[in-house]
Amino acid sequence: MLDWHARFVSANADFNGAPLLRGEFDLDKGHGDVASAKLLLSALGVVEAWVNGARASEDLLTPGWSAYEWRVRYTELDVTALVGLTTVLGLALGNGWYRGRLTWKGGSAFYGDELAGFAELRVRFADGHEQIFGTDASWTAGQSATTANDLYDGQDIDARKHDDAWLAPGFASPDWAPAKVLDDDLARLEPYTGPPVSRQAELKPVRVWESPAGKLLVDFGQNLVGWVRVEVTGLQGSVVSLRHAEVLEHGELGIRPLRSAAATDRFTLSGEADMFEPTFTFHGFRYVELEGWPGGLTALRAGGGLTAVVISSDLKRIGTFETSNPMVNRLHENAVWGMRGNFVDVPTDCPQRDERLGWTGDIAVFAPSACFLFDAKDFLRDWLRDLALEQEHHEGVVPYVVPDVLKYIELPADLPSVTDTTAVWSDAAVWVPWAVWTAYGDRRVLEETFPSMAAHARRLRSKLSSNGVWDTGFQFGDWLDPDAPPENPVLAKADAHVVATLCAYRTSDLVSQAAQVIGRAEEATEFRQLADALRTAFAKHYVSAEGVIKSDCTTVYALAIVFGVLDDSRHLFAGQRLAKLVEASGYRISTGFAGTPFVTDALTATGHLDAAYRLLLQTECPSWLYPVTMGATTIWERWDSMLPNGTINPGEMTSFNHYALGAVVDWLHRVVGGLAPLEPGYRRFLVAPQPGGDLDWAETTLETPHGPASVRWEHRPGRVRVAVVVPDGTEAVLRLPGEADETLTGGTHSRELQLGKSKSAVVRVGG
């Protein structure tokens, strides 16, 4: 821990939940030029910083959302170019997650009712002298132009109150008062592990019109997460308001899915040319309803003035996938946009309504997809740190959400009053680090998280009945099974305790493997024995002599096959039964959160690739492509979040940006695209594309830790051509139908497979 000189300081007045803080100092003389200046920045709330009138960073929503009870992050910024002989530090604070509204219960200030800023500037001179200046009792506080701010409800800005004079040396005002130093434990300050939130893109409106009810509506063409930057000139004191939503319903803004979230920004005009950017909130939206725009529709069409700003944690895109089928491409792009919008510091379920929580079940199933699409290693390592802290302070229970704000509210009647270990959701403690390890080959994630992984597996073991299966307690089960009633998404076809026991087996198996990787032989044996016992108990209590798994539905067979819990004879039966169930469903989706990520893999592994493709390419609801036919630009929470008649699903819980069901893209990358790791980090990887359906070609690329890899296949009458790029220092195993495996070393390779003969032949082209 650093030896801190600064302290958390707060304004004596609340200033509408958006105070400004300033401090001023002179550089020490006689030490030569400034060699470096580092600003260490944090807050209880969210903070933006200025040094001598210039933004210290374009990072957003610093320091993000962590398990504040035990960990508050700080960021380190290089501000060498900004310091001067007299230097003014300025901080603007907002409520953020610390004090703003959280959960659907309407509460706020769960972590504290007082905002505070923390800044420590460390200046090093040419002769080695160091000068430190930071937040302390010498600082003052005043009012900003922000008159309200909340992540759920939006931000109000009054341009008449805007004045940059507070950032200039010598500023004084009777409206400003001394700040107060908080008695806060600085031991909980930790540096960021993951990336900051930042602006990612800007979109202009694609359509502006009046609704049947006379409302002024704007369409940005893409469901996104961020806000609208507004440039406008109008009468002093007039107000322009923007209400955000993801969809339209019967020609009007569809706000019911937002529940209590107002999602509305209000801007009071100065009478001059104004620019508003509400950086202390964010919205999930494609459409905006405008009120008070000067000149109305005609002026807006003529003059523009609206720009959607896309925000996300600053993750590098590393994986791509494209095919000859535009609808499949749109599905994949929807998953990308869903991840981008829900990876805003915490991997959330949704970004728009009064929830936006780090639900563990969503990331548990989506982690492999996330780790391929973007370099999510440090983002997820940072989140796993919070998971471990919550778990450590709750008797080994991995909560439903991380950070766990639900512990502060009364849970709904259909959930237990006390959070307990539950399958899939709590399994994030194991499934997520394993996905990170597999994708990047960095042992640190297993070394850092193994205590959490082991604690979860032991807690899970304590929940098993005397018969060896997990058949007691609350389970989400196959959440959002499409056959469950809209008002009760837990009522799935799959027996919840069959699902739980299967997940317990997978978790025990992975913890044993993780222990082996990091050289913990005793734990590897401990959890291998647990996995073996679960496998035996599962077969005894949930599988009939004929091989029928209890509840006899798609999800239980898919999980049993992919998790490897069955012996060879029952594996064969399970594949055949799964294929029949999929056929009986008309190749429509019949799985929820637990089964959906694994059903296409289960079909592929048991020789039913055609059925997997028919599931993928189905356009009737429920299916992956049905939302695409309805114009979706992100993954929906429910298969039928929007009904065919344009009416929003009647369930209270309906989001149009929920990445979990987009976990199928992991199968697209590995099976359709044909690029999968054989060793963690892709030092060895498998090239085994499996063409099918109506696809004529597919191309998959990945920036591996060792360099770029890619696979492109093209299907032509009677032949398939495959082109492969292998990074130097790695090798790929090429596996084509009817041919022996071939090892490829670094470089570019091309192969052509002749089809339609009694014995296939490979015509080799190039090296």
DSSP state of 28: P
Cβ contacts of residue 717 below 8 Å, gap of 6+? none
- The structure tokens listed for 50 are 């200025």
Task: Report the relative pairing of strands 189-191 and 72-78 from DSSP bridges.
Answer: parallel
The burial class, CB within 10 Å (0-12 / 13-18 / 19+), for 326 is: exposed
Length of the chain, please?
767
355 belongs to the catalytic site:
yes
**Residue of 365, 379, 378 lying closest to 335 (CA atoms):** 365
User: How open is the CA angle 620-625-629, to the nearest 5 degrees?
Assistant: 80
The alpha carbon dihedral of 664, 670, 673, 677 has a sign of positive
CA distances from 51 to 167, 180, 274, 476 (A): 8, 21, 23, 49
Catalytic residue list contains 739: no
Going through 11-138 in order, the beta strands assigned E by DSSP cover 19-26, 34-44, 46-51, 54-55, 72-78, 86-94, 116-125, 130-134
d(CA 110, CA 101): 8
Q: What is the DSSP-derived secondary structure letter of residue 549?
A: B
Catalytic residue among 24, 120, 526, 637: 637
Catalytic residue among 24, 120, 246, 355: 355
Helices vs strands, H then E, count in the chain? 15, 35
The SS3 of residue 307 is strand
Decide: residue 282, CB within 10 A, 0-12 exposed, 13-18 middle, 19+ buried. buried
Place of tokens 């009478």: 271
- Residues annotated as part of the active site: 355, 637
